[in-house]
Structure 1
């Protein structure tokens, strides 16, 4: 046998990564996430119909029976921030199912062979979720205007509203990504959506917390949806928000600081990288 045949194969040089490549990786997986959402007809219909149904139900079915306490607000003005957070949070929580689907279908094995950053896959899910839920929020506000919502917000107030909604969606999406990575199936990951969908009902989103029993009131006053709702309501209706603004920001940033690195670590471990 010749010396050439016995020679060891030449080592493959590692792919050099530039700083901008990570951003390109995230953009790639973001486009993938958006395409998957556009191809899912039932998800598209839900994203359009859920805001419409919730807004009309709360305004026309429950609005005449529910009180806004001593705020003096019409119920349509009171309820809009709660519906915004409910629909955005539910949409963000659905990311858990998308991530779990990636983990159980074997597509991650393909990702392992690509020279991409470890955290680009979950980050792509997150950015796609933000894009989708900004559209959902726009639908909620359009329906709200159609049923009589008339905000007093200026430009700075609207920018604050968008910033808070984006922060909330980022926090819930990173948390949903963690759930999707630890879930054993798509079905088990879907339970997180119901939790996030239920959470606004135990807050100031639809009724003042002062009307709740003592135990429920204590919970409502110490969970993130209440300061978020009160902050959005104050910004939209030109009302003072007190400490609610920074409390809402601290909740969202705190969740992200825990969930984002945890999701990257979990993905690396699940993908065997």
Structure 2
């Protein structure tokens, strides 16, 4: 009598979301170490603008943002106070550009397709990239702020202002990271992914980032007042100034923009990740 062996069921590996996100976070941080060019871009760009705009243009522009400032060192100090919040925001935008490139590299290198076949939490692949970008952005912020301090920047923020500022900047980092991940996945090539987020770098120039909105022509002024970076920059500027002149409605508008950008970026990125890529 022949007996037929019953196959023993094998255990199916189940994804562990927290552990998977931690693994993907470690992977993206290691990549930042191995490809330091993207990380250096986040820091060097704002530092170059800080030195250029303060020491070359600050004497003239400082008199525009603070009419009572005397030409020379006083005007440069006034413009340093005005410019530093803008460069903190631009630093976060630079971090977003780097994650767009990383996402496109993974998509076109076939790595994301490989991840989809593995027993890992699907959300961990993108979440690891976003968290890695937020951490890199925060470290870059510290360096840029330290450089501003070395140049004489002295904010008037108290402990609560610094805490609120940290919340706004972290929320900004998450929102732009999700948006730029989606831009990277949607790009037709890695080169395109590096160019698409450039529009985000232009918006602070077309807002209150470098000069007051009131000095602009009427059509540009209207655009500056209704685009997202103006209330975001004004909120950061007001918090660093110790809450002086911070309009509560402007702060709420900034938070609303950040939530909208973050949710839209998240939904778009998850949709692109699920979609089968045809190269």
- The TM-score with structure 2 as length reference comes to 0.88
Residue 39 (structure 2) aligns with: 44
| Alpha-carbon distance between aligned partners in 1 of 2:7 and 2:109, rounded to the nearest angstrom | 34
The equivalent position to 2:139 in structure 1, one of 117, 135, 138, is 135
1:157 aligns with 2:161: yes
Residue 79 (structure 1) aligns with: 83
**Root-mean-square deviation (Å):** 2.2
Cα drift, residue 169 of structure 1: 1.2
| Alpha-carbon distance between aligned partners in 2 of 1:228 and 1:45, rounded to the nearest angstrom | 24
- The TM-score with structure 1 as length reference comes to 0.90
Q: How many residues align?
A: 266
| Alpha-carbon distance between aligned partners in 2 of 1:215 and 1:12, rounded to the nearest angstrom | 67
**Contact preservation (8 Å) 2:24, 2:129:** yes
Residue 30 (structure 1) aligns with: 25
Any idea what SS the aligned residue of 2:65 has?
coil
- Unaligned segments of structure 1, at least 5 residues: none
Residue 145 (structure 1) aligns with: 149
Residue 241 (structure 1) aligns with: 246
Cα drift, residue 12 of structure 1: 5.0
1:266 aligns with 2:272: yes
1:68 aligns with 2:74: no
Residue 98 (structure 2) aligns with: 94
**Contact preservation (8 Å) 1:202, 1:220:** yes
Q: 1:225 to 1:164 in 2, by over 3 A?
A: same
Residue 221 (structure 2) aligns with: 217
Residue 15 (structure 1) aligns with: 13
**Contact preservation (8 Å) 1:51, 1:139:** no
| Alpha-carbon distance between aligned partners in 1 of 2:119 and 2:168, rounded to the nearest angstrom | 34
Cα drift, residue 113 of structure 1: 2.7
- Unaligned segments of structure 2, at least 5 residues: 70-76
